[in-house]
């Protein structure tokens, strides 16, 4: 934002005004802006939406400056002779002496009164030359390359290249289709030696297995002998690879990227709540990639979470409400199912009923679960804990995505507390009816077949066929995380949104609708809620932490609604690197 000194402060020069705020004045393509000291030139251009092409630069990684694509023309004010006052224009800026040679904008930081030109003959010729060099050995693989459509080399070849190759010699041969790890395929001919993957594995994943061998045009990316690229963060290298050198085995040849619809959502495999993009075509999910959120997952994501979506499209999905008669499950309509549940539940005293929910449920589902509990006056409600080892980067020990949300909504510090009580009450025959939402008690909560067959009525909502469902008198098919809307709160207290990327299969239903219809079948109250927005309105009216929020106000980056002591280790590493000036972040 160019500041012109006002008439009242005639002695204050732009450099002094900027210096007071710790900023410097920089002219980019003829306009003056202010940036903090230490900002890289390429970041400065990006902040003011001036396009500078690049391959090797990544804001979260160190800067090697080896692709030379981000060359710009740089200028500084000429040094005055001894005793000479620098001349200034009417706005108080010194004239810029343009350097005859270009400079890479990723490795240089901005300075007072600096000028940057991202257009002009010099810069354009440089880019054209760099593109021509990069394409000398790049194969014409685009029709079979998975990167086509999101390839920086393709985009910048169109934007800045010369269109026709002048190179007549044979292209250099390098290994193709190399198996370097369980989830990543390497094609060395496509590699443009940007070294992003090498730096990522070294700096972020702390597993430096990649490196360059050979020299010059024969430079080859390879994995350390005897090692594999098998880190749980290896697929991030495919994300940051600007070309198709590193591609995902899971997504290999599945779908061209231009067919994919992108839905921003969040990951539900652990309490971190990694921000993701769900890529779908039609009603099929083809891949999941991380979405940048500097307060949650930076731009990364663990492979185990990323690849955990194939169950959504699997054969074991439940698609019809089922009822148990004579030891066999038969499908019924939703209407009959709700009526059946309501009739059965009337046979029991409230003290004989218990509800087991899941911390994988959204806030909207949890508040309705709370209403269901009040409707039935049930004394026991518990969720199922899910703990495993954290990985000191993004994966939290708590593998439930919405523990914090459950704490807030159910107004308890430990939503898992009464699971043991319920279990022993089932063993003592005190509890005869159990409503289970989104959990498989046998696999995930350690219940035994004997305990479940002890029950007179067991209702389960779940996605997949599971051992608990075998005992359930009523099985209701729910929706997967990519099939529903709603909100969750991650371990650091950030409220985030899930968005619907695909439709639930056949007769499966969104979980909040199932609970809503169960409540109205039991209470006979037909005053219904039709929109999930209205459920959220109910949350914001009743739970103080959610006050004044709506689903749309949460935004794609989430909103902090609770203070917790939890720190995401990967972000701590990143903040330390930003503070030390290694990266711009």
Partner 1 sequence: MSTIKLTRPKLDAGEKIYFGALIKGFFLTLSHAVTSLRGKSIGAKGLNSTGLGVTMQYPETKWDDHMPEYYRGAPALVTDEQGRERCVSCQLCEFICPPKAIKIIPAEIPSDDRWAKVEKRPLAFDIDMIRCIYCGMCEEVCPEQAIYLRKDYAITGLTRADMVHDKKKLYEIGGVRIGLVNKWNELK
Binding site for partner 1 (CB under 8 A): 139-140, 142-144, 148, 170, 176-177, 252-256, 258-259
Is 552 buried (19+), middle (13-18) or exposed (0-12) by CB count in 10 A?
A: exposed
* 244 or 290: CB nearest partner 1: 244
Minimum distance, C-beta of residue 130 to partner 1, in the bound complex (Å) = 25
* 89 or 169: CB nearest partner 1: 169
Minimum distance, C-beta of residue 194 to partner 1, in the bound complex (Å) = 23
Minimum distance, C-beta of residue 230 to partner 1, in the bound complex (Å) = 21
Minimum distance, C-beta of residue 68 to partner 1, in the bound complex (Å) = 28
- Sheet with 559-560: list strands edge to edge: 486-489, 494-498, 559-560
Minimum distance, C-beta of residue 23 to partner 1, in the bound complex (Å) = 47
Long-range interactions of 525-534: CB distance < 8 A, separation 24+: 532/364, 532/485, 532/486
Dihedral of the CA atoms 357, 476, 309, 145 (nearest 10)? -160
- Residue 118 parent element (H or E): none
* 76 or 148: CB nearest partner 1: 148
* 282 or 581: CB nearest partner 1: 282
* 119 or 177: CB nearest partner 1: 177
Tally DSSP H helices, then E strands, for the chain. Answer: 18, 23
* 143 or 216: CB nearest partner 1: 143
* 149 or 569: CB nearest partner 1: 149
Written as six digits, the tokens of 42 are 């390429």
Distance CA 488, CA 364 (A): 9
Is 421 buried (19+), middle (13-18) or exposed (0-12) by CB count in 10 A?
A: middle
Measured in degrees and rounded to the nearest 5, phi and psi for residue 490 equal: -85, 180
Measured in degrees and rounded to the nearest 5, phi and psi for residue 577 equal: -70, -35
Minimum distance, C-beta of residue 256 to partner 1, in the bound complex (Å) = 5
Distance CA 31, CA 479 (A): 52
Contact 568, 296 (CB under 8 A): yes
* 148 or 295: CB nearest partner 1: 148
* 257 or 464: CB nearest partner 1: 257
Minimum distance, C-beta of residue 252 to partner 1, in the bound complex (Å) = 7
* 187 or 511: CB nearest partner 1: 187
Minimum distance, C-beta of residue 148 to partner 1, in the bound complex (Å) = 7
Task: From residue 489, give the alpha-carbon distance in Å to each of 363, 364, 410.
Answer: 8, 11, 13
Closest CA to 346 of 381, 377, 382: 377
* 142 or 342: CB nearest partner 1: 142
HEC readout, 439-486: CCHHHHCCCCHHHHHCCCEEEEEECECCHHHHHCCEEEECCCHHHCCE
Written as six digits, the tokens of 235 are 């697929």
Minimum distance, C-beta of residue 141 to partner 1, in the bound complex (Å) = 8
Closest CA to 293 of 307, 275, 315, 306: 275
Minimum distance, C-beta of residue 169 to partner 1, in the bound complex (Å) = 12
Minimum distance, C-beta of residue 174 to partner 1, in the bound complex (Å) = 13
Distance CA 447, CA 325 (A): 23
Distance CA 426, CA 253 (A): 50
Closest CA to 584 of 106, 203, 264: 106
């Amino acid at each position: 934002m160019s500041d012109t000194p006002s008439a009242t402060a005639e002695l204050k020069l732009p450099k002094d005004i900027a210096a007071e705020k710790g900023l410097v004045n920089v002219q980019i393509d003829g306009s003056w802006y202010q940036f903090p000291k230490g900002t890289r030139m390429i970041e400065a251009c990006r902040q003011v939406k001036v396009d500078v092409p690049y391959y090797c630069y990544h804001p979260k990684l160190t800067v090697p400056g080896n692709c030379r694509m981000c060359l710009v023309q740089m200028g500084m004010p000429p040094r005055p002779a001894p005793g000479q006052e620098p001349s200034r224009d009417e706005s108080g800026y010194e004239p810029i002496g343009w350097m005859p040679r270009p400079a890479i904008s990723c490795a240089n930081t901005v300075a007072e009164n600096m000028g940057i030109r991202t257009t002009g003959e010099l810069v354009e010729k440089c880019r054209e030359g760099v593109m021509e060099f990069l394409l000398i050995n790049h194969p014409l693989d685009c029709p079979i390359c998975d990167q086509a459509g999101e390839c920086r080399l393709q985009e910048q070849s169109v934007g800045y290249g010369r269109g026709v190759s002048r190179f007549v010699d044979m292209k250099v041969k390098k290994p193709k289709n190399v198996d370097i790890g369980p989830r990543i395929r390497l094609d060395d001919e496509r590699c443009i030696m940007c070294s992003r993957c090498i730096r990522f594995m070294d700096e972020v994943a702390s597993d430096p297995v990649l490196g360059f061998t050979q020299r010059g045009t024969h430079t080859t990316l390879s994995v350390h002998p005897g090692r594999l690229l098998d880190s749980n963060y290896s697929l991030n290298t495919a994300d940051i690879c600007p070309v198709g050198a590193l591609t995902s085995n899971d997504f290999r040849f599945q779908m061209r990227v231009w067919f994919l619809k992108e839905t921003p959502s969040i990951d539900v495999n652990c309490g971190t709540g990694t921000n993701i993009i769900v890529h779908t075509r039609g009603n099929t999910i083809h891949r999941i990639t991380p979405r940048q959120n500097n307060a949650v997952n930076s731009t990364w994501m663990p492979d185990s979470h990323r690849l955990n979506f194939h169950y959504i499209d699997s054969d074991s999905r439940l698609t019809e409400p089922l009822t148990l008669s004579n030891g066999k499950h038969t499908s019924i309509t939703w209407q009959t199912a709700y009526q059946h549940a309501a009739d059965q539940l009337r046979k029991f005293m409230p003290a004989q009923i218990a509800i087991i929910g899941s911390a994988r449920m959204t806030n909207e589902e949890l508040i309705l679960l709370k209403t269901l509990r009040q409707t039935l006056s049930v004394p026991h409600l518990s969720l199922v804990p899910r703990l495993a080892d954290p990985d000191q980067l993004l994966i939290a020990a708590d593998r439930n995505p919405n523990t914090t949300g459950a704490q807030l909504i159910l107004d308890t510090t430990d939503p898992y507390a009464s699971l043991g009580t319920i279990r022993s009450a089932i063993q003592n025959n005190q509890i005869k009816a159990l409503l289970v939402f989104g959990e498989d008690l046998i696999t995930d909560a350690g219940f035994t077949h004997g305990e479940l067959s002890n029950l007179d009525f067991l209702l389960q909502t779940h996605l997949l066929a599971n051992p608990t469902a075998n005992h359930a008198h009523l099985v209701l098919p729910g929706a997967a995380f990519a099939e529903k809307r709603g909100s969750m709160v991650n371990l650091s207290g950030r409220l985030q949104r899930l968005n619907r990327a695909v439709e639930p299969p056949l007769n499966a239903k969104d979980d909040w609708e199932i609970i809503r219809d169960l409540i109205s079948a039991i209470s006979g109250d037909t005053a219904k809620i039709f929109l999930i927005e209205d459920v959220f309105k109910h949350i914001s009216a009743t739970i103080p932490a959610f006050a004044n929020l709506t689903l749309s106000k949460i935004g794609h980056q989430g909103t902090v609604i609770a203070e917790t002591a939890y720190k995401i280790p990967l972000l701590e590493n990143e903040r330390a690197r930003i503070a030390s000036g290694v990266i711009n972040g």
